[in-house]
A and B are shown apart, each in its own frame.
Chain A
Amino acid sequence: MNMQTTSRLTAAETALVEAFGAQIGELPGNGAVIGTRDRLLDDLKKSGLPTRRIEAWHYTDLKNLLRILPDAATVSAIDPAAPLVEGSKVLSILQGTADAKAAVDGVEIALFRDRLADGSAAAGLTALDKDDAIGRINGSFVRDGYAIAVPANTELDAPIELQALHGAGQVHTRFPVSFGAASKATIIERHRSVAEGSALVSSISDIALEDGADITWIILQQQAAEDTHLGQIRVKLGTDAKLRLFVINAGGKLVRQELRIDVAGEGAELTLRGVNLLGGESHTDVTLVLGHNVPNTNSTEIIRNVVFDRANGVFQGMIRVAPDAQKTDAKMSCNTLLLTDDGGFSAKPELEIFADDVVCGHGATVADIESSHLFYLMARGVPENKARAMLVKAFVAEIVEELEEEKLVEALEGVISAWLEKHA
């Protein structure tokens, strides 16, 4: 039913096309990269931004929601910030530009703009499928980022923080990261507005865990209330690899976080946790497509959402078990505290199962605070508003407490508390 034609582009679509024309000369990339960029933009132009008729965008009609684009990256001086967790190695990307001097001992780090210039990034600039608007936008416009390789058998003693700070304008970044066999690391990917004005950020992290790698990856999105964030994480898990992926959304006006995960090695294990703090007029969509593609893998996914004001939240979670992926164990739950009648939450947890010897399940709840919990706290003398605040905080803090690193838990609880104080 896709009847969009090039002649009916919206203002935002036109702006994308024109911006591309204006920038093409200065976007980094050799011939192969430019060719790929061209193709991606052409596909985008042909199909237009996705509407709700596209099942993957059922709840986020990007064509309607993304109305005006901020101008392409405007230069403004931004200073790096303190890392979320003290002692982290910071790799900063300020207004979309990576730091040429960035280095972490024992880790290979390259600038993504160099990979574009020499063409080695071309192969990875593809869209994942015909509905991958983020892949197309990012692939067309990406300017920089870091390509990181953690060698095999390397254990990093401090987290690496990918610190993406921006002000008004457009920022398109990409982080191809590979973790060698049996490596161990924690990566914190932060997207944060530090200056006035609205921004459009697209960012793709393309990460591969080789056999036995044991990785914690945290995405912390704290953009400004008028910003758009189009994030995508592409993950491939090798044999016996372990990934703990935490996604925390605490900002932005229009947010789409896509998690595309390919569990491709036997014995691999995914732990996905999400916290969505939704307030103001925001629209936040977390979309997971998780493929269990080989036998004997397991995953658990827990998403917690808190909705205030006129915010709208979406969680789409698809667990796909391939034929022959026997003994898959996958459990997903999505719980929402809807604390307003002016906002809403939509959940679409989906199971697509083609192997029979599996244990898969999902649960979804939408409710107000549990009345018996509220009563218990009040019966101890805690006034209602305070008791509610405690329970809301507990509802989401419980998720980050699963992280083992105490400093990380504290920092993330701090983010949650600060957000709740501002919005609750």
Chain B
Amino acid sequence: MAAVQETIDQVRLIDVDQYKYGFETVIEVDKAPKGLSEDIIRFISAKKQEPEWMLEWRLDAYRRWLTMEEPTWARVEYPKIDFNDLYYYAAPKSSAGPKSLEEVDPELLRVYEKLGIPLREQEILAGVETPRVAVDAVFDSVSVVTTFKKELQKAGVIFMSISEAIREHPELIKKYLGSVVPTSDNFYATLNAAVFTDGSFVFVPKGVRCPMELSTYFRINEKNTGQFERTLIIVEEGAYVSYLEGCTAPQRDENQLHAAVVELIALDDAEIKYSTVQNWYPGDAQGKGGIYNFVTKRGDCRGARSKISWTQVETGSAITWKYPSCILRGDDSRGEFYSIAVSNGYQQIDSGTKMIHLGKNTSSRIISKGISAGNSNNTYRGQVSINRRASNARNFTNCDSLLIGDQCGAHTVPYIDVKNASAQIEHEATTSKISEDQKFYVMQRGIPEEEAIALIVNGFVKDVIQQLPMEFAVEAQKLIGISLEGSVG
């Protein structure tokens, strides 16, 4: 995220509660007709030149989805979504077909530049201090470009859009797709299985430490378009990858739907670090517009001693419904979840994690920091489950909530289920308001109130920020500050 600093600086000049990524790009698009049906799914599959088995997989999920009901247990409220009033496929016209940077519409490249995402490899390479990050850029329904592919190939790492992977590596897709989040998993995940359009695919072979950070950048541009991306990351024995994900969308009055599925698979001794900075458009100060972010993310520590770590900074979206989870199947495996969730305005967040301990000597750690301001509601919902055979399981959970103002809500809903006597589970949660003493102290030194709050909040979330790769950490801190603008009234 090299150009981030610059963008941040620009944004700082903008007025309070102006979403900095709210610009719209006028670009010619290729769209499927509105609505959802088997024909639409056939259309998407055909557009992607998918093999027959993939189409069947989708149709199967679609038929199942028709029998399912939208979940209502989360603490989020929104008008019923008309799933037939959405576009399920929108692609920049010029991007169809094989992609190389030269073929990409220059208008698109400018979008990513504006967002601070460098896609031109030569530019990235030219920057001396810039850390090298391979990027897969997803614009509405399709991946427009993936950088550094060749260099990664040398190391044996496959990094490409999932559409390409379906065509080029069907054996891996068949083996792993849906193996962590089955098509029947939940309403949104099943919908995703039916209509997913693009996303990233990562395969790190045995013993390889991925030579650079991998990153996907998601952008919803089109009106009334659902974005249903699918990400699949497979890390073989002893291998390692760090993966970053960023998201933005234009400022629009209507709500846009985003229902992604992310599956991670870690084999013996493998490690996956997955970081997200989610900054979808949150809606305006009155709660109009914004993204509905209904995401299923799950990692499977399939191998012994494997490790999956989720770090998320959630500042955007009108509604967030998201529980990045770990299935600790392998003995001695470890799951981590570090989260910062900031809600302001009329945002609603219901997010947390699940740590499912199945193997022996498994351990997990959950650190969640929720900050509610304005008229928002912010819920941590998490589960720690210790299976009867999971001896010597360990969990530590810490959920802290901070309230800024008296019109918001902060909620904590942990589920702790233990069936093995050797387990050691420790959960603690606190809710309090920002300390007046601290604020006074900081302000007394000449720092204005909003900045003082940002400063204190940054202290509050430090444990999580530290988990982010450096480039992201800086951006995340700034984002939190921006998200809280206007919270003092």
Contacts and interface: CB of A to CB of B under 8 A. Distances in A.
Interface of A: 1, 55, 58, 323-324, 326, 336, 338-368
Nearest to A352: B411
A344 B432 contact: no
Contacts of B419: 341, 343-344
Nearest to B391: A341
12 contacts: A326-B406, A344-B417, A344-B419, A346-B418, A350-B414, A352-B409, A353-B411, A360-B430, A361-B428, A363-B426, A363-B429, A364-B425
Contacts of B401: 351, 353
B153 interface: no
Contacts of A324: 406
Contact of B418 (A1, A345, A350): A345
B429 A362 contact: yes
Contact of A353 (B73, B403, B428): B403
A309 to B, nearest CB: 12
Given A350-B413, A360-B432, A55 B73 contact: yes
A364 B416 contact: yes
Nearest to A369: B421
B28 interface: no
A415 to B, nearest CB: 24
Contacts of B462: none
Interface of B: 69, 72-73, 386, 388, 391, 401, 403-433
Contacts, number: 120
Nearest to B432: A359
B414 A348 contact: yes
A323 B377 CA distance: 13
A344 B420 CA distance: 7
A356 B411 contact: no
Contact of A351 (B407, B424, B426, B429): B429
A346 B416 contact: yes
Given A345-B418, A346-B415, A355 B423 contact: no
Contacts of A352: 409, 411
B348 to A, nearest CB: 14
A348 B429 CA distance: 12
Instruction: Give the most central of B388, B418, B430: most A CB within 10 Å.
Output: B418
B429 A368 contact: no
A345 B424 CA distance: 12
A358 B432 CA distance: 5
A350 B413 CA distance: 5
Given A1-B69, A349-B414, A350-B413, A357 B433 contact: yes
The majority secondary structure among interface residues of chain A is strand
B77 to A, nearest CB: 15
Contacts of B421: 338-341, 368
Contacts of B386: 366
A354 B72 CA distance: 21
Contacts of A364: 414, 416, 425-428
A366 B405 contact: no
A239 B364 CA distance: 44
Given A58-B415, A358-B432, A364-B425, 5 more contacts: A356-B408, A358-B433, A360-B432, A366-B418, A367-B423
A349 B397 CA distance: 13
B57 to A, nearest CB: 27
Contacts of B69: 1
A349 B415 CA distance: 8
A350 B427 contact: no
A368 B412 CA distance: 26
Instruction: Give the most central of B386, B388, B407, B429: most A CB within 10 Å.
Output: B429
Contacts of B403: 353, 355-356, 358
Nearest to A342: B388
A344 B429 contact: no
B431 A361 contact: yes
B102 to A, nearest CB: 53
Instruction: Give the most central of B405, B410, B426, B431: most A CB within 10 Å.
Output: B431
A355 B430 contact: no
Contacts of B418: 336, 338, 344-346, 366
Nearest to A313: B418
A351 B416 contact: no
A354 B414 contact: no
B412 A362 contact: yes
Nearest to A315: B416
Instruction: Give the most central of A341, A353, A354: most B CB within 10 Å.
Output: A353
A214 B414 CA distance: 33
Contacts of B405: 356
Contact of B412 (A55, A339, A340, A351): A351
Nearest to B378: A353
B414 A356 contact: no
Contacts of A367: 423-426
Contacts of A362: 412, 427-429
Given A356-B433, A357-B433, A349 B427 contact: yes
B416 A361 contact: no
Instruction: Give the most central of A339, A348, A354, A366: most B CB within 10 Å.
Output: A366
A76 to B, nearest CB: 39
A1 B402 CA distance: 33
Contact of B427 (A345, A356, A363): A363
Contacts of B412: 349-351, 362
B429 A365 contact: no
Given A341-B420, A366-B416, A349 B425 contact: no
Instruction: Give the most central of A351, A362, A365: most B CB within 10 Å.
Output: A351
Contacts of B432: 358-360
Contacts of B73: 55
B53 to A, nearest CB: 33
A361 B423 contact: no
Contact of B72 (A1, A341, A343, A358): A1
A353 B409 contact: yes
Contacts of A361: 428-431
Nearest to A364: B427
A24 B72 CA distance: 38
A365 B426 contact: yes
A351 B422 contact: no
Nearest to B72: A1
> What are the nearest 5 A-B pairs in CB distance?
A356-B403, A344-B419, A361-B430, A351-B412, A366-B425
Given A338-B418, A347-B416, A366 B429 contact: no
Contacts of B388: 341-342, 344
